[in-house]
């Protein structure tokens, strides 16, 4: 590890990454520091409000539409900003991390938008943080290429930026720190680092090329958190002399509490709002996390059985489309996570039909576009939305006035059909450990069993196990889910994992046990994994807390 250096009040502690001086200029660091200092206190207050809200839900207080913001919902006159250049047509959006190969593949994919992800599908190692910024700037300057060890070359095909998907960058959420950048000995907010560096270096580049600095905002839990992002946008534009309203943001509605404040979130960001997205996997995780101690009414079946046709998911997506179109914003559908395998045409055929059915439902419900995880899925999603949209760029004019705001519908968890199975438990263990192992090696998007898994699906895996144990859930075979039984299954599944030199499976298992079998429930598994286990090649992970022996843990639970 390099000796720490301090520039413009920010101490850099990460191992040197080639070309990092191009990103971490004195002016860029000053810009990021000013954004962080202006928002750090309010950010911390909002994170504390999250915990207060979770405690209230645990006490039995169900979320509901806010009385204090009723006037915003009932005022039909306000609209979000006009659609920005490059965001008029979003019928197919491809998502993925900002590594060099994925950047090229995404921009060559034929999608309308690329979600350049520095959040759930990107491990926040210092090298990834810096290289992600470099890759985005290199792509905008058309100087990006990549050659594999086998000699395969990747290059951009479009002649100019407007020939390629519009870039919408996703920074980290409010809860995640950047431990390699410190002010007064404390880490900066990871989201401010990601947003600030990208905006500082690329806002003018994007404007000059007929686009703009556009963002996806993750993990928002209330309209107050959206207001803080709006404050960041206003300050950032003022500091760099960028006209107000140039930034556009699409908010992921991926928490159960945000679902009750969708119009308010659009209102807070209205001069910068582009739309909302149905972040299905994190949304399911949020439901489990918030209601994990509320008994059988909130216990979901196996993850694979929680589909978008479940009553609470239908209520969520239909109300999202209504909220967006009522306010002139776009509604973007959820992820198709299937990864095609050209060696298994029969598997591909079945999966492609499932993707087609999913996208057909979304287009029919009024969504203006949807996400895919792989370039081979772009033609399928495009064909579906083409059949509905035709020559129109979107269907924002479809108001969905047939949908009524329904707070009870959002909480109809008990209406979800399905069962808890031993197979589901084993799958959660396998996916959870395999994903965390990949994450620890710097790969935040992992192909597991023909699906692209990211942090959200790992969160579902571990939170379901935690909830099933603490709810004394019963499988379809009549087996009570206990910690002892899960540990037996974990041993069996762990022994099946494909080990290799340099793997991080032992660490991954330790993390998985902590976040799924511990008495405490960490709000996000990425926080302890990042703070205690994630390290660059010449850094040492911090000393880890040893998991409690099972006997002590069982006594504590009792």
Respond yes or no: is residue 553 known to be catalytic: no
pLDDT of residue 87: 98
Residue 547 resides in a domain: no
Residue 542 resides in a domain: no
Q: Read off the pLDDT of residues 187-211 as tens digits, 9 standing for 90 and up.
A: 999 999 999 999 999 999 999 999 9
Q: Which residue range forms the structural domain that includes residue 491?
A: 422-534
pLDDT at residue 513 tops 90:
yes
Pull the structure tokens for residue 148.
């594999």
Residue 545 resides in a domain: no
Distance CA 381, CA 30 (A): 42
Q: Which of 89, 117, 368, 454 is catalytic?
A: 454
Q: What CATH number does residue 498 fall under?
A: 1.20.1220.12
Residue 540 resides in a domain: no
Residue 429 resides in a domain: yes
End-to-end CA distance of the chain: 45
369's enclosing H/E stretch is strand 369-372
Indicate if 382 and 443 belong to the same structural domain.
Answer: no
Indicate if 381 and 457 belong to the same structural domain.
Answer: no
pLDDT of residue 558: 28
Q: What separation in angstroms does the CA of 16 have from each of 23, 118, 120, 140?
A: 12, 19, 24, 24
Respond yes or no: is residue 170 known to be catalytic: yes
The SS3 of residue 235 is helix
pLDDT of residue 551: 35
The whole-number average pLDDT for the span 494-501 is 97
Q: What percent of the chain has pLDDT over 90?
A: 89
Indicate if 169 and 281 belong to the same structural domain.
Answer: yes
Residue 110 resides in a domain: yes
Q: Read off the pLDDT of residues 252-297 as tens digits, 9 standing for 90 and up.
A: 999 999 999 999 999 999 999 999 999 999 999 999 999 999 999 9
pLDDT of residue 344: 83
Confirm if 90 and 112 have CB atoms less than 8 A apart: yes
Which of these three, 410, 433, 461, is where a domain ends?
410
Q: Read off the pLDDT of residues 384-399 as tens digits, 9 standing for 90 and up.
A: 999 999 999 999 999 9
Indicate if 464 and 385 belong to the same structural domain.
Answer: no
Residue 553 resides in a domain: no
The whole-number average pLDDT for the span 147-160 is 90
Strand pairing class (166-170; 5-7): unpaired
Residue 539 resides in a domain: no
Indicate if 434 and 399 belong to the same structural domain.
Answer: no
Q: Which of 91, 170, 172, 211 is catalytic?
A: 170
Indicate if 481 and 526 belong to the same structural domain.
Answer: yes
Strand pairing class (273-278; 248-253): parallel
For the chain, how many structural domains are there in total?
Answer: 2
Indicate if 61 and 89 belong to the same structural domain.
Answer: yes
Distance CA 464, CA 262 (A): 26
Indicate if 256 and 315 belong to the same structural domain.
Answer: yes
Indicate if 364 and 491 belong to the same structural domain.
Answer: no
Which of 283, 257, 273 shows the shortest CA–CA distance to 215?
A: 273
Indicate if 119 and 147 belong to the same structural domain.
Answer: yes
Q: Read off the pLDDT of residues 20-55 as tens digits, 9 standing for 90 and up.
A: 999 999 999 999 999 999 999 999 999 999 999 999
pLDDT of residue 536: 72
Which of these three, 410, 431, 454, is where a domain ends?
410
Q: Read off the pLDDT of residues 525-549 as tens digits, 9 standing for 90 and up.
A: 999 999 999 987 656 665 454 444 4
The whole-number average pLDDT for the span 90-109 is 97
Which of these three, 410, 430, 455, is where a domain ends?
410
Indicate if 202 and 304 belong to the same structural domain.
Answer: yes
Indicate if 200 and 75 belong to the same structural domain.
Answer: yes
Q: What percent of the chain has pLDDT over 70?
A: 96
pLDDT of residue 540: 60
Radius of gyration of the chain (CA): 23
DSSP assignment of 294-347, as one string?
S-GGG----GGG--TTSHHHHHHHHHHHHHHHHTT-EEEEEEE-B---TT-HHH
Q: What separation in angstroms does the CA of 41 have from each of 180, 184, 219, 222, 239?
A: 20, 14, 19, 17, 20
Chain mean pLDDT for the chain: 94
pLDDT of residue 1: 54
pLDDT at residue 376 tops 60:
yes
Q: What CATH number does residue 285 fall under?
A: 3.20.20.360
pLDDT of residue 547: 46
């Amino acid at each position: 590890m390099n000796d720490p250096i301090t520039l413009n009040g920010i101490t850099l502690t990460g191992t040197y990454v080639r070309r990092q001086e191009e990103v971490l200029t004195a002016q860029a660091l000053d810009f990021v520091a000013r954004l962080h200092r202006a928002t750090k206190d309010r950010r911390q207050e909002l994170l504390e409000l999250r915990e207060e809200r979770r405690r209230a839900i645990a006490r039995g207080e169900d979320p509901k539409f806010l009385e204090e913001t009723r006037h915003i919902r009932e005022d039909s006159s306000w609209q979000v900003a006009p659609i920005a250049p490059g965001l008029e047509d979003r019928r197919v959006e491809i998502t993925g991390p900002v590594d060099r190969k994925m950047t090229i593949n995404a921009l060559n994919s034929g999608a309308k938008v690329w979600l350049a992800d520095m959040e759930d599908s990107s491990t926040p190692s210092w090298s990834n943080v810096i290289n992600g910024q470099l890759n985005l700037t290199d792509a905008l300057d058309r100087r990006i290429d990549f050659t594999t060890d086998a000699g395969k070359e990747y290059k951009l095909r479009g002649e100019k930026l407007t020939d390629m998907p519009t870039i919408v960058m996703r920074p980290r959420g409010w809860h995640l720190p950047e431990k390699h950048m410190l002010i007064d000995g404390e880490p900066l907010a990871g989201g401010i680092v990601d947003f600030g560096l990208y905006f500082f270096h690329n806002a003018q580049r994007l404007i000059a090329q007929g686009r703009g600095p556009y963002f996806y905002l993750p993990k928002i839990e209330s309209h107050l958190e959206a207001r803080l992002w709006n404050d960041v946008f206003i300050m950032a534009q003022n500091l760099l002399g960028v006209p107000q309203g140039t930034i556009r943001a699409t908010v992921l509605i991926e928490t159960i509490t945000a679902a009750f404040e969708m119009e308010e979130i659009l209102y807070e960001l209205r001069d910068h709002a582009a739309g909302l997205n149905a972040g299905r996997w994190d949304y399911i995780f949020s439901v489990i996390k918030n209601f994990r101690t509320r008994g059988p009414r909130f216990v979901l079946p196996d993850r694979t059985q929680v589909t978008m046709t479940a009553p609470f998911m239908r209520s969520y997506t239909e109300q999202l489309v209504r909220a967006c179109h009522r306010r002139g914003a776009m509604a973007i559908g959820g992820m198709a996570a299937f990864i095609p395998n050209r060696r298994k045409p029969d598997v591909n055929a079945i999966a492609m039909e499932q993707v087609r059915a999913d996208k057909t439902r979304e287009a029919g419900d009024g969504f203006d576009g949807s996400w895919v995880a792989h370039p081979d899925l772009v033609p399928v999603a495009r064909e579906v939305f083409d059949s509905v949209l035709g020559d129109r760029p979107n269907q924002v004019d479809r108001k969905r006035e047939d949908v009524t705001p329904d707070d009870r519908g959002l909480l109809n968890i008990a209406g979800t059909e399905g069962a808890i199975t031993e197979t589901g438990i084993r799958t959660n263990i396998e996916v959870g450990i395999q994903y965390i192992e990949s994450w620890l090696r710097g790969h935040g998007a992992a192909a597991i069993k023909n699906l692209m898994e990211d942090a959200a699906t790992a969160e579902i895996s571990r939170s379901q196990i935690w909830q099933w144990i603490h709810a004394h859930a019963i499988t379809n075979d009549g087996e009570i889910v206990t910690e002892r039984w899960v540990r037996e299954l974990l041993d069996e599944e762990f022994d099946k994992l494909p080990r290799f030199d340099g793997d991080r499976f032992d660490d991954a298992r330790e993390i998985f046990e902590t976040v799924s079998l511990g008495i405490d429930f960490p709000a996000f598994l990425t926080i302890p994994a990042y703070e205690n286990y994630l390290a660059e090649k010449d850094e040492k992970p911090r000393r880890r807390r040893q998991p409690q022996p099972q006997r002590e843990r069982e006594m504590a639970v009792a």
